[in-house]
Amino acid sequence: MQEKYVLHGKLVRDRIPQIIRADGAEPEVYVADPAEYRQRLRVKLVEEVSEYMEADETDAPEELADVLEVAFALAADLGVDPTQLEKIRAAKAEQRGGFAERIVWTGNR
């Protein structure tokens, strides 16, 4: 992927500037254009997955929720709402299965 933007700062949740102001500071923010937003969402997904990978069992559910939030935002950016995304996931699970059986493939003979 060719980077159009030099990424300074980071994508944050919508209420973060409000929370910073409530703590007595003034945040420096701007609204990303659509192309930058999509790129920053991809970077954010990697960040959130990394945080999940480093989390212990206590913090893992919260980190997974962050991963889902970013996944839902990426889907919305593609014009796919959470219900549609779940239908796509369910169809793939119906066709190819899920991961509940813990099957590990090691190749073919």
Q: What would the pLDDT profile of 74-88 be if each residue is shown by its tens digit?
A: 999 999 999 999 999
Q: Is pLDDT above 80 for 4?
A: no
pTM value? 0.86
Residues 16, 25: contact at Cβ < 8 Å?
Answer: no
Q: What would the pLDDT profile of 94-108 be if each residue is shown by its tens digit?
A: 999 999 999 999 999
Query: How is residue 24 written in tokens?
Result: 């007595």
| 1 confidence band (pLDDT: 50, 70, 90) | very low
Q: Which of 64, 42, 44, 43 is nearest to 53 (CA)?
A: 64
